[in-house]
C-alpha cells in the first residue's frame, strides 16, 4: 500500500454522530427475523432477487455509535421502543401539521426590533440557522420505530475501535486544513457533487436515502439517489483490480452465500468517511476493505450489514447494520447535482465577504 | 411585523430541529444568525434545483418599489415525494417567509417557515402540500 494516505474530516463528526438524539426513529419490525411462511424470491435465472427501490429512512435518528447507557445491549426494551414510537408519531404529525406556527427567526426579529437580547439558544446547537437549519417538515423521516440502540453493532459495545496513532495525527492535520474556505477544493466531495462514497450513500440522513437495486445474470447494480453514484458489481470475478486502480467507490466483487449478497470492495481512494454523506464521520484510508451483506428478510425488507476493515486507520475491524425497506409510492428521482446548484457560489461569496469585513475592521 | 407571535418552538419542533443536521451545504456558512427576517411577497418562479429548491419572491417595499428575493426551500426530491409538484406554487401566489438573510447580505434568505397569508403552512402533509390545487394540475 502506498504511504500516501488520505484521511478525512472526522473526529468532530464522530462526536456529533454519536450524539444524535433518539428522535425520529425507525426500523422494520421484521428486522432480524425471517417470516417462516415467507420464501425469498428468485430472479428468472435463479439468483436471490433483491431488486426494487429501497430506503434507509427508518434508521434516520438511530445513533451511529451506541450511547453509553445501553452498554452491550443491541436492542431497545419494549418501553424504550414505545418512547421511540411516540417520537416517530410526533415526526409524522410535524410533517402533517407543519410544526410550530412560526420560525424561531420571528422571535429573534421581535427581540431585535425591541433592542432586547435574542431568545436563548435552543438546545446545544446554537441560535437561528444553527438551531433549525432545515424546517423539520422539509425533511424525510422514519416511518416506524427502530428497535436498534445504535447502528454500530460490532464490537458488542457499539463503539468504533480506537484509531491508530498515525491515523489520528494525520486526521488532526487534515482538520486544521479544512478550516480554510479559500476555494471550492476546501469543501467536501459531497458539497462538490463528486461522491458520498459507499457508506455515505446509504447511511440515513435528513433526505434522499433511496437506492435502487437492479440485477442481471452475473451482475448486481446499485444506484443511490443523492449524488447518484452507481455501482456495477460483478458476481463472477475472483480477484480485485491491481493496486494501481483506485476510485471513490472502490472495486467491488459480489457473490451469493445462500440468499445473502456479499460484496467485497477494495481499491478505494480513502477520501470518503464512514458516516453522514461520506463527508462527516469515521475516516478511511486507501487500506480500506469493506464487506457488505444484503439479506432479504421479507417482501419489503433487506437487512444491510457493513464491515469496515481499515488497518491503517482502526485498531480492529468493526461493523454496522440496519434494515432498508420498500415503501408504497416511494420513488427515486433524478439528482442533477450541479445543474443550477448555487450552494458553492453562495458559500464562497460569503467567505470572501467575511474576509473583506475583517480586513476593513483591521484598517480602522 | 406586528403580528402577535407565539412561538411554540419547544415541543416537537425543538425535538426535531435539535438533531444535528447536515444538508448538502453548510447553512451556517451561508445564512446569518443575526439577520432574522419576515418577508411577504408574490412568487415569481420556483427553481427545482439541488441541493435545495429556490423560490423567487417579489417583495413590495414601503416606498412602492419592488425587490426580488430568493428563498431557499427544501430538497427537490423530498418535496416531490411529499406530493409537491410544479403546479403547487404557481407564479402570483402570495406567501410569507420567515427565515434568515444570507451572510453576504444579498437578497437571499433561508425559508425557515413559509405560509400563505392566512397562516396555512406550505410544504406540509402527504400527499397534499397545502398549496391550492391548480385547475390544470394532472
H or E, element range at B58? strand B54-60
| Percent of chain A whose predicted confidence (pLDDT) is above 70 | 83
The reply to whether residue A133 touches residue B23, judged by beta carbons under 8 angstroms, is yes
Query: In this model, does residue A15 exceed pLDDT 70?
Result: no
What pLDDT is stored for residue B56 in this prediction? 96
Residue A147 backbone phi and psi in degrees, to 5: -85, 0
| Residue closest to A299 by CA, chosen among A35, A45, A25 | A35
Query: In this model, does residue A322 exceed pLDDT 90?
Result: yes
- Quick check: helix, strand or coil at residue A165? helix
Q: Hey, what's the torsion of the CAs at A22, A23, A28, A33, to 10 degrees?
A: 10
The reply to whether residue A350 touches residue B34, judged by beta carbons under 8 angstroms, is no
Total domains present in chain A: 1
The reply to whether residue A350 touches residue B102, judged by beta carbons under 8 angstroms, is yes
What pLDDT is stored for residue A42 in this prediction? 97
Q: What is the mean pLDDT of residues A219-243?
A: 96
The reply to whether residue B17 touches residue A335, judged by beta carbons under 8 angstroms, is no
Looking at the complex, report in whole angstroms how far the Cα of residue A92 sits from the nearest Cα belonging to chain B: 9
What pLDDT is stored for residue A54 in this prediction? 98
Average predicted confidence (pLDDT) for chain A: 84
Q: What is the mean pLDDT of residues A225-246?
A: 95
The reply to whether residue B23 touches residue A191, judged by beta carbons under 8 angstroms, is no
Residue A31 lies in a domain: no
Q: If you count them, how many residues does chain A have? A: 364
Q: With bands split at pLDDT 50, 70 and 90, how would you rate the model's confidence at A4?
A: very low
Strand partners, A210: A55
Rama region for B104: left / alpha / beta (φ>0; ψ in -120 to 50; rest): alpha
Q: Looking at per-residue confidence, does A125 or A313 come out higher?
A: A313
Give pTM, 2 decimals.
Answer: 0.82
Residue-wise pLDDT for A248-265, tens only, equals 999 999 999 999 999 999
Looking at the complex, report in whole angstroms how far the Cα of residue B60 sits from the nearest Cα belonging to chain A: 19
Residue of B nearest to A194 (CA): B24
Rounded distance between C-alpha atoms, residue B7 and residue A326, angstroms: 37
With a cut of 0.95, is the ipTM above it? Answer: no
Residue A78 lies in a domain: no
What pLDDT is stored for residue A35 in this prediction? 65
What pLDDT is stored for residue A20 in this prediction? 33
Residue A14 lies in a domain: no
Q: What is the mean pLDDT of residues A276-303?
A: 94
Are A28 and A324 in contact by the 8 Å Cβ rule? The answer is no
Query: In this model, does residue A319 exceed pLDDT 70?
Result: yes
The alpha helices in chain A, defined as continuous H runs, are: 11-18, 78-97, 104-113, 128-131, 165-178, 197-200, 343-363
Residue-wise pLDDT for A25-45, tens only, equals 333 444 445 567 889 999 999
Domains in chain B (CATH in brackets) are: 30-138 (2.40.50.140)
What pLDDT is stored for residue A165 in this prediction? 95
Give the rounded distance of the alpha carbon of A39 from its chain centre: 30
Tell me the residue range of the domain where A347 lies: 49-59+153-363
List the grid coordinates of A204. Answer: 440515513
Q: What is the mean pLDDT of residues A213-235?
A: 97
List the grid coordinates of A139. Answer: 425533511
Q: Looking at per-residue confidence, does A338 or A311 come out higher?
A: A311
Determine which of A26, A226, A343 to mutate to test the interface with B (most B C-beta atoms within 10 Å): A343
Q: Which of residues 10-39 of B touch A (CB under 8 A)?
A: 11-34, 36-38
Determine which of A25, A97, A102 to mutate to test the interface with B (most B C-beta atoms within 10 Å): A102
The reply to whether residue A99 touches residue B16, judged by beta carbons under 8 angstroms, is yes
Q: What is the pLDDT along chain B (138 residues), one digit of tens a residue?
A: 333 322 222 222 222 222 333 445 566 778 887 888 999 999 999 999 988 889 999 999 999 999 999 998 888 898 888 778 888 889 999 999 988 898 888 999 988 788 888 888 776 544 333 333 333 332
Long-range contacts (CB closer than 8 Å, 24 or more residues apart) made by B14-17? B14/A122, B14/A123, B15/A21, B15/A23, B15/A87, B15/A90, B16/A23, B16/A24, B16/A90, B16/A91, B16/A94, B16/A99, B16/A136, B16/A139, B17/A122, B17/A123, B17/A125, B17/A131, B17/A132, B17/A133, B17/A135, B17/A136
| Residue closest to B19 by CA, chosen among A155, A78, A8, A94 | A94
Query: In this model, does residue A333 exceed pLDDT 70?
Result: yes
DSSP labels for A211-245? EEEEEETTEEEEEESTT--EEEEESS--SPPPTT-
What pLDDT is stored for residue A347 in this prediction? 84
Rounded distance between C-alpha atoms, residue A357 and residue A363, angstroms: 10
Residue A327 lies in a domain: yes
The reply to whether residue B22 touches residue A279, judged by beta carbons under 8 angstroms, is yes
| Percent of chain A whose predicted confidence (pLDDT) is above 90 | 57
Residue A89 lies in a domain: no
What pLDDT is stored for residue A13 in this prediction? 34
Looking at the complex, report in whole angstroms how far the Cα of residue A112 sits from the nearest Cα belonging to chain B: 9
Whether B100 contacts chain A with CB within 8 A: yes
Query: In this model, does residue A323 exceed pLDDT 90?
Result: yes
Are B15 and A25 in contact by the 8 Å Cβ rule? The answer is no
The reply to whether residue A129 touches residue B110, judged by beta carbons under 8 angstroms, is yes
Count how many pairs of residues, chain A against chain B, have C-beta atoms within 8 Å: 244
Q: What is the mean pLDDT of residues A233-250?
A: 96
What pLDDT is stored for residue A127 in this prediction? 52
Q: Which residues have CB under 8 Å from A271's CB, separation 6+?
A: A6, A8, A189, A197, A248, A284
- Which DSSP category does A119 fall into? P
Residue of A nearest to B17 (CA): A132
What pLDDT is stored for residue B129 in this prediction? 38
Rounded distance between C-alpha atoms, residue A281 and residue A284, angstroms: 9
What pLDDT is stored for residue B127 in this prediction? 38
Instruction: Give the C-alpha distances (Å, rounded to integers) separating A295 from A40, A50, A91, A247.
Output: 9, 8, 29, 26
Residue-wise pLDDT for A84-106, tens only, equals 999 888 877 777 776 777 777 88
Residue A3 lies in a domain: no
| Residue closest to A329 by CA, chosen among B82, B136, B125, B6 | B82
Residue A276 lies in a domain: yes
What pLDDT is stored for residue B138 in this prediction? 27
Amino acid at each position: 500500500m502506498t504511504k500516501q494516505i488520505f484521511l478525512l474530516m472526522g473526529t468532530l463528526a464522530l462526536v456529533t454522530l454519536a450524539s444524535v438524539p433518539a428522535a425520529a426513529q425507525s426500523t422494520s419490525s421484521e428486522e432480524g427475523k425471517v417470516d417462516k411462511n415467507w420464501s425469498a424470491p428468485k430472479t428468472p435465472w435463479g439468483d436471490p432477487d433483491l431488486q426494487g427501490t429501497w430506503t434507509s429512512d427508518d434508521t434516520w435518528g438511530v445513533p451511529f455509535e451506541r450511547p453509553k447507557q445501553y452498554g452491550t445491549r443491541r436492542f431497545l426494551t419494549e418501553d424504550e421502543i414505545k418512547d421511540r414510537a411516540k417520537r416517530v408519531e410526533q415526526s409524522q404529525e410535524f410533517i402533517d401539521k407543519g410544526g410550530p406556527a412560526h420560525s424561531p427567526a420571528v422571535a429573534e426579529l421581535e427581540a431585535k426590533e425591541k433592542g432586547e437580547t435574542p431568545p436563548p439558544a435552543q438546545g446545544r446547537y446554537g441560535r437561528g440557522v444553527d438551531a433549525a437549519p432545515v424546517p423539520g417538515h422539509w425533511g424525510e423521516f422514519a416511518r416506524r420505530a427502530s428497535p436498534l440502540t445504535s447502528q454500530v453493532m460490532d464490537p458488542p459495545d457499539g463503539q468504533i475501535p480506537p484509531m491508530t496513532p498515525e491515523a489520528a495525527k494525520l486526521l488532526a492535520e487534515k482538520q486544521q486544513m479544512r478550516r480554510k474556505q479559500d476555494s471550492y477544493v476546501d469543501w467536501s466531495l459531497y458539497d462538490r457533487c463528486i461522491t458520498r462514497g459507499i457508506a455515505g450513500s446509504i447511511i440515513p440522513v435528513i433526505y434522499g436515502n433511496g437506492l435502487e437495486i437492479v440485477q442481471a445474470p452475473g451482475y448486481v447494480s446499485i444506484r443511490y439517489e443523492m449524488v447518484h453514484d452507481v455501482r456495477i458489481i460483478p458476481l463472477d470475478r475472483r480477484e480485485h483490480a491491481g493496486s494501481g486502480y483506485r476510485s471513490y467507490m472502490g472495486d467491488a466483487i459480489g457473490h451469493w452465500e445462500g440468499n445473502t449478497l456479499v460484496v467485497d470492495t477494495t481499491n478505494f481512494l480513502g477520501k470518503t468517511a464512514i458516516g453522514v454523506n461520506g463527508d462527516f464521520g469515521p475516516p478511511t484510508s486507501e487500506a480500506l476493505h469493506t464487506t457488505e451483506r444484503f439479506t432479504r428478510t421479507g417482501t419489503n425488507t433487506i437487512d444491510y450489514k457493513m464491515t469496515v476493515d481499515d488497518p491503517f486507520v482502526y485498531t480492529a475491524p468493526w461493523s454496522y447494520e440496519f434494515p432498508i425497506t420498500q415503501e408504497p409510492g416511494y420513488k427515486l428521482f433524478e439528482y442533477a447535482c450541479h445543474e443550477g446548484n448555487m450552494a458553492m457560489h453562495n458559500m464562497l461569496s460569503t467567505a470572501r465577504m467575511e474576509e473583506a469585513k475583517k480586513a476593513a475592521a483591521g484598517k480602522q | 411585523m406586528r403580528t402577535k407571535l407565539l412561538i411554540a418552538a419547544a415541543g416537537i419542533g425543538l425535538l426535531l430541529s435539535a438533531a444535528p443536521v447536515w444538508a448538502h451545504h453548510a447553512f451556517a456558512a451561508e445564512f446569518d444568525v443575526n439577520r432574522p427576517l419576515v418577508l411577504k411577497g408574490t412568487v415569481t418562479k420556483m427553481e427545482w434545483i439541488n441541493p435545495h429548491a429556490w423560490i423567487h419572491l417579489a417583495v413590495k417595499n414601503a416606498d412602492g418599489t419592488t425587490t426580488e428575493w430568493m428563498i431557499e426551500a427544501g430538497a427537490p426530491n423530498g418535496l416531490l415525494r411529499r406530493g409537491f409538484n410544479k403546479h403547487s406554487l404557481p407564479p402570483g401566489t402570495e406567501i410569507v417567509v420567515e427565515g434568515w438573510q444570507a451572510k453576504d447580505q444579498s437578497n437571499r434568505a433561508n425559508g425557515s417557515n413559509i405560509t400563505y397569508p392566512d397562516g396555512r403552512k406550505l410544504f406540509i402533509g402527504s400527499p397534499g402540500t397545502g398549496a391550492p390545487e391548480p385547475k390544470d394540475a394532472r
